[in-house]
């Protein structure tokens, strides 16, 4: 009964689904940017380890390659291109990459959920994914979980 009322109210709004999806993605991105502490070096020991591995890979040293090295390998070309002198700048670059991938993943979740449920419910699923606190925290830390979901 209440689900029908919600559906009726959503139908009356007449907002295009694409616009709603863009709003969800942009708002999710802005929430991640807002909660990022840009002046703190390392909030997570995993992030520091990933940064060290990515820096090593960007210099061409692949001695410590293992299965969990996929995230540092993805980050290493960016570190090679930008070549910041300070670790905090490299960490912020890694955070931006993680935040960007996490935001793009919202679109992927929408596309997948659209195959199983109606579009309006897929938008709801995308919003749940966009505003999940644990995913926001992982992307703000610059670690790999948003990429490997």
Q: Decide if pLDDT at 149 tops 60.
A: no
- 122 CB contacts (<8 Å, ≥6 apart)? 110, 113, 114, 116
Per-residue confidence at 51, pLDDT binned at 50, 70, 90? confident
Average pLDDT over residues 65-77: 78
* The pLDDT of residue 1: 59
Query: What pLDDT digit, counting tens, does each position of 79-138 carry?
Result: 888 887 777 788 888 888 888 888 899 999 999 999 998 888 888 899 988 998 888 887
* The pLDDT of residue 2: 67
Average pLDDT over residues 63-92: 80
Q: Decide if pLDDT at 63 tops 60.
A: yes
Q: What interhelical angle do 17-34 and 133-141 show, nearest 10?
A: 60
Q: Decide: 142 and 48 in contact? Cβ < 8 Å.
A: no
Q: How is residue 143 written in tokens?
A: 């670690």
């Amino acid at each position: 009964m209440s689900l029908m009322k919600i559906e009726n109210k959503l139908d009356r709004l007449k907002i295009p689904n694409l616009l709603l999806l863009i709003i969800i993605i942009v708002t999710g991105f802005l929430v991640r940017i807002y909660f990022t502490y840009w002046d703190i070096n390392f909030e997570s020991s995993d992030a520091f380890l990933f940064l060290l591995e990515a820096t090593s890979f960007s210099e061409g040293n692949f001695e410590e390659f293992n299965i969990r090295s996929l995230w540092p390998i993805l980050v290493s070309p960016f570190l090679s291109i930008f070549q910041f002198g300070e670790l905090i700048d490299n960490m912020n670059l890694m955070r931006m990459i993680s935040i960007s991938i996490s935001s793009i993943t919202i679109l992927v979740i929408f596309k997948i959920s659209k195959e199983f449920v109606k579009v309006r419910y897929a938008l709801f699923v995308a919003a749940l994914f966009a505003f999940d606190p644990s995913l926001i925290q992982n992307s703000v830390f610059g670690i790999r979980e948003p990429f490997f979901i």
